[in-house]
Amino acid sequence: MATYDLVVIGTGPGGYVCAVRASQLGMKVAVVEKNATLGGTCLNVGCMPSKALLHASEMFEEAAHSFAKMGVSVSTPKLDLPAMMNFKQQGIDGNVKGVEFLMKKNKIDVLKGTGKILGTGKVEVSADGKSQVVETKNIVIATGSDIARLKGIEIDEKRIVSSTGALSLEKVPQRMLVIGAGVIGLELGSVWRRLGSEVMVVEFLDRILPGMDGEIAKQFQRMLEKQGFAFKLGSKVTGVDASGKTLLAKIEPAAGGAAETIEADVVLVCIGRVPFTDGLGLKEAGVALDNRGRVQIDAHFSTNVKGVYAIGDVVAGPMLAHKAEDEGVAVAEILAGQSGHVNYDVIPGVVYTTPEVSSVGKTEEELKQAGQAYTVGKFPFTANGRSKVNQTTDGFVKILADAKTDRVLGVHIVGREAGEMIHEAVVLMEFGGSAEDLARSCHAHPTRSEAVKEAALAVGKRAIHM
């Protein structure tokens, strides 16, 4: 029987990163994966394929609408959807091979099959009707999440799709109805709108992107509407009739009231994700779950069963790849006797649309609710030189700082490349920096990042270009 220091169940960004770090620290490690390919949701049906399609569809739209004004004359671009899907697949394959390479390089055994915990120190791996039991000092559960379903709406991944189906549609739907104005709805809605779909988004709440700063979300919604998105906020889809050629979605006000019927060719259900623990044997092994079905852990990622830990989407916290990765590193370091930790106050979030939205730390709503005195500095891209010459002036940077100490508490950006720009705020906040620190740091000219510096200057009411 094979014996290990650590067996990680699941090879998403949480699991494979944990395995690599543990191997770096001298542990004998195996990963267990039930899917044919490594990399989990993120590499196969999540972050990476969605970003490939976002990039390709953005290029398509730019070629159609932005090239001419820059004096680049091209004939009307034509969509070759199979080729675009092939571009996406090449990206997936490249990244999946990268994880396979990392497993080999770090001498990590890859056990293909479904992992089941038989109690402290024992994992059963089953595939094709055969099973083996491996012994290990420690187990890390990194089994991720699955799509949340809506009662009465059957996902067939052809016409009524989850994100997985929406990443592989065979033709551009004329009308796409998106249920949920969260990250997936706005990213994948953007992909198909750019390729020609009329996109309507139905959202239960009275705003898009719950959890993001309200002012940013409001402005972002206007920008999306200008692009052609239609929103139906404060509404819920109560059923979809798929019996005819056209899908008929029944929509009601969230608070109750008269229903209306909306026609669509594809319905995308993206109302969140749920932890995935099927087949893991948690009940038999006595591993406790919380009231939302997530594996319950303490501050050191330990479950209630000795030697069993959990990280990533399957535990509490934002369902983000980089959060899973950082937890993977932290738990490996803890197992090696070090003091690995994750600073949950400084985890960035990015929506990879055009423009992008990014955020780190507290929103204005959260500060108000906590009764925290704060100052705000804002700077629009319309006043940023680089954005002006590129004619990409939508959006602004918003910095929230402690009114007494000037410590930066939150940074929120809507604008092109916001997902790259947020990281100087992440580093600043990790070091407990102030708006003054940011304002006094030299920023290269001409860059869009100068808007971040100007927003920091605006906290002290001394922005230069405004």
- Window of 128-136, 142-150, 153-161, 452-460 that interacts with ligand FAD by CB under 6 A: 142-150
Instruction: Specify the amino acid at residue 266.
Output: V
Instruction: Specify the amino acid at residue 142.
Output: A
CB atoms inside a 10 Å sphere around CB 109:
15
Residue 52 interacts with ligand FAD (CB under 6 A): yes or no = no
List 55, 300, 423, 445, catalytic entry: 445
| CB proximity list for 222: less than 8 A, separation 6 or greater | none
Task: Pick the closer one to ligand NAI by CB: 280 or 319.
Answer: 319
Residue 342 interacts with ligand FAD (CB under 6 A): yes or no = no
Query: Which of ligand FAD, ligand NAI, none lies near 190, with the C-beta cut-off 5 to 8 A by kind?
Result: none
Residue pair 7/136 in contact by the 8 Å Cβ criterion = yes
Residue pair 448/427 in contact by the 8 Å Cβ criterion = no
Write the DSSP symbol of residue 75. P
Task: Pick the closer one to ligand NAI by CB: 236 or 294.
Answer: 236
User: Least distance (Å) from ligand FAD to the CB of residue 110?
Assistant: 11
Residue 91 interacts with ligand FAD (CB under 6 A): yes or no = no
Task: Pick the closer one to ligand NAI by CB: 407 or 423.
Answer: 423
User: Least distance (Å) from ligand NAI to the CB of residue 202?
Assistant: 5
Residue 321 interacts with ligand FAD (CB under 6 A): yes or no = yes
Tokens found for residue 39 = 């990399």
How far is 453 from 443, CA to CA, in rounded Å? 7
Query: Which of ligand NAI, ligand FAD, none lies near 181, with the C-beta cut-off 5 to 8 A by kind?
Result: ligand NAI
Residue 419 interacts with ligand FAD (CB under 6 A): yes or no = no
Residue 320 interacts with ligand FAD (CB under 6 A): yes or no = yes
Write the DSSP symbol of residue 302. B
Q: Determine how β-strand 160-161 pairs with β-strand 145-147.
A: unpaired
CB atoms inside a 10 Å sphere around CB 157:
12
User: Least distance (Å) from ligand NAI to the CB of residue 2?
Assistant: 34
- Window of 43-51, 224-232, 399-407, 444-452 that interacts with ligand FAD by CB under 6 A: 43-51
How far is 191 from 227, CA to CA, in rounded Å? 12
| Of 249, 270, 251, nearest in space to 187 by CA | 270
Task: Pick the closer one to ligand NAI by CB: 202 or 297.
Answer: 202
Residue 14 interacts with ligand FAD (CB under 6 A): yes or no = yes
Choice from 21, 22, 115, 161 touching ligand FAD (CB under 6 A): 115
How far is 440 from 435, CA to CA, in rounded Å? 9
How many DSSP H helices and E strands does the chain contain? Answer: 14, 22
Residue pair 190/353 in contact by the 8 Å Cβ criterion = yes
Site string for ligand FAD, 95-114 (x = CB under 6 A): -------------------x
Judged by CB under 6 A, how many residues of this single chain contact ligand FAD? 36
How far is 317 from 339, CA to CA, in rounded Å? 20
User: Least distance (Å) from ligand FAD to the CB of residue 426?
Assistant: 13
Task: Pick the closer one to ligand NAI by CB: 356 or 364.
Answer: 356
| Of 267, 238, 263, 236, nearest in space to 156 by CA | 267
What DSSP line would sit under 390-434, residue for residue?
A: HT----EEEEEEETTT-BEEEEEEEETTHHHHHHHHHHHHHTT-B
CB atoms inside a 10 Å sphere around CB 295:
26
- Window of 227-235, 243-251, 314-322, 425-433 that interacts with ligand FAD by CB under 6 A: 314-322
User: Least distance (Å) from ligand NAI to the CB of residue 247?
Assistant: 16
Residue 302 interacts with ligand FAD (CB under 6 A): yes or no = no
Residue 9 interacts with ligand FAD (CB under 6 A): yes or no = yes
Per-residue CA distances from 221 to 181, 364, 387, 397 (Å)? 10, 18, 20, 16
Task: Pick the closer one to ligand FAD by CB: 186 or 217.
Answer: 186
Query: Which of ligand NAI, ligand FAD, none lies near 32, with the C-beta cut-off 5 to 8 A by kind?
Result: ligand FAD
Per-residue CA distances from 313 to 17, 107, 324 (Å)? 14, 26, 7
Residue 13 interacts with ligand FAD (CB under 6 A): yes or no = yes
Task: Pick the closer one to ligand FAD by CB: 162 or 384.
Answer: 162
110 phi/psi in degrees, rounded to 5: -105, 115
Choice from 30, 32, 360, 367 touching ligand FAD (CB under 6 A): 32
Residue pair 125/131 in contact by the 8 Å Cβ criterion = yes
The binding site for ligand NAI (CB under 6 A) comprises 150, 179-185, 187, 202-205, 210, 236-237, 270-273, 318-320, 350-352
Residue pair 138/309 in contact by the 8 Å Cβ criterion = yes
Task: Pick the closer one to ligand NAI by CB: 183 or 308.
Answer: 183
Active site residue 412: no
* Chain residues that interact with ligand FAD, rule: CB under 6 A: 9-15, 32-35, 40-42, 46-47, 50, 114-115, 142-145, 163, 184, 276, 279-280, 312-313, 319-322, 324, 352
Q: Which residues are catalytic?
A: 445
